[in-house]
Amino acid sequence: MLFVRTEGIVNTMIRAPLILAGLIVMAIGMPFQSSFSTTKTLELTMYSDGSTHISSQIQVDSFSPDYEINLFGPSVDNFVAVGENGFLLTSEIVNNTAIVDTFGSSSITIDYDIHDLISKEGRIWTFSFDSPSDYSLLMPSNSIIVGMSTIPKNMEITDEQTMLELSSGETEINYILGTPQTPVDPTPPPQPTPTEDYTIPIIIGGIAAAGIGGASIMIKKNKTKSSSIQTEIKEEKPKNEPVDPQRIFDYVPDMREDDKKIVRFISENGGQVFESELRKKFLQPRTTMWRAVKRLERLGVIEINKKDMQNLVILKKDLEEEE
């Protein structure tokens, strides 16, 4: 006869399902912790040269030493990653993947330019994008949409630029740049019939002579006044005189319009400003302005110095030497 000890059987039968449930919860929770990431915001800005700027904020696992980001194509420029504390994070890009050292950040912001989302055939530009999440899209200035594969969630126009709110998934937008111009009438205006009357030339000659005499007097006065004004300006100007913005634009003829505005602002403020002043002037976040400043530095028109724990942006004078 087989004797079975029945003490504790009831307690064991009650505890076994609880232990099993706990093990199941742990098994399910572990993959989520190791692969946790969420795209909080995704913003795209299209430019007239066919490039697109990507700005995204991603929630990541702060316990993971690095995070692998799938980029939206291999043609990547100006990649910048910033942690939640505002510090730049080191990163490495391989093809269309970026590996970012998180340094304990639970949220990272990435910015980069890409050239793989827009193509052109004739006058028609085509934007093609397969988004993993909802996103906003800012069209180029003076662009006209002629076709769209999806209906946007929202659409508004600000300063001749169209802002679209789009859902996740595939989207294709066809557009053209510029507005139709009014045709010019090829018929020349009627010409007056010539006459032999010399009264008008005599009057015009007298007016011209009087104008020349008055202009010479005004020039002398203006020279005297300008010399005194220039003396005052020289006393008030700093030793580091700003560079003429047009000279910089001639040096980099394909510079973006938003970069030209930054150069003009720096020139108007004595040729040097703090990066914080640029962010305040143009209402741009830290990462966007840092990307623009680094782009101007690569073009060779500015230099960045540290002063009082801030970035001092200075226009370069010796542009010819950089050529």
Q: Catalogue all structural domains in the chain, each as residue range(s) with its CATH number.
A: 38-177 (2.60.40.1730), 245-322 (1.10.10.10)
CA gap 56, 195 in Å, rounded? 73
The residue among 170, 95, 71, 70 whose CA lies nearest residue 127 is 170
pLDDT digits (tens, 9 = 90+) for 240-297: 566 788 989 988 888 999 999 999 999 999 999 999 999 999 998 888 899 999 999 9
Higher pLDDT, 96 or 160: 96
pLDDT of residue 159: 73
The predicted model gives 175-197 an average pLDDT of 59
Q: Residue 313: how many CB atoms within 10 A of its CB?
A: 25
How would residue 48 be classed by pLDDT, with cut points 50, 70 and 90? confident
The predicted model gives 63-69 an average pLDDT of 87
pLDDT of residue 76: 86
Which residues have C-beta within 8 Å of that of residue 97, sequence separation ≥ 6?
A: 68, 69, 70, 71
pLDDT digits (tens, 9 = 90+) for 169-180: 999 999 998 754
- Whether the per-residue pLDDT at 27 is higher than 60: the answer is no
The predicted model gives 52-69 an average pLDDT of 88
Which of 105-119, 144-158, 196-210 has the weakest average pLDDT? 196-210
The predicted model gives 90-104 an average pLDDT of 88
pLDDT of residue 72: 92
- Whether the per-residue pLDDT at 69 is higher than 50: the answer is yes
Higher pLDDT, 98 or 207: 98
The predicted model gives 93-102 an average pLDDT of 88
Core vs surface per residue 239-266: b (16+ CB within 10 A) or e: eeebbebeebbebbeebbeebeebbebb
Which of 72-86, 160-174, 193-207 has the weakest average pLDDT? 193-207
- Whether the per-residue pLDDT at 143 is higher than 50: the answer is yes
pTM for the model: 0.50
How would residue 130 be classed by pLDDT, with cut points 50, 70 and 90? very high
- Whether the per-residue pLDDT at 216 is higher than 60: the answer is no
Share above pLDDT 90 across residues of the chain, in percent, rounded to a whole number:
31
- Whether the per-residue pLDDT at 223 is higher than 90: the answer is no
- Whether the per-residue pLDDT at 62 is higher than 60: the answer is yes
- Whether the per-residue pLDDT at 167 is higher than 90: the answer is yes
Higher pLDDT, 258 or 95: 258
CA gap 140, 257 in Å, rounded? 11
pLDDT of residue 323: 42
Core vs surface per residue 41-58: b (16+ CB within 10 A) or e: ebbbbbbeeebbbbbbbb
How high is the mean pLDDT of the chain? 77
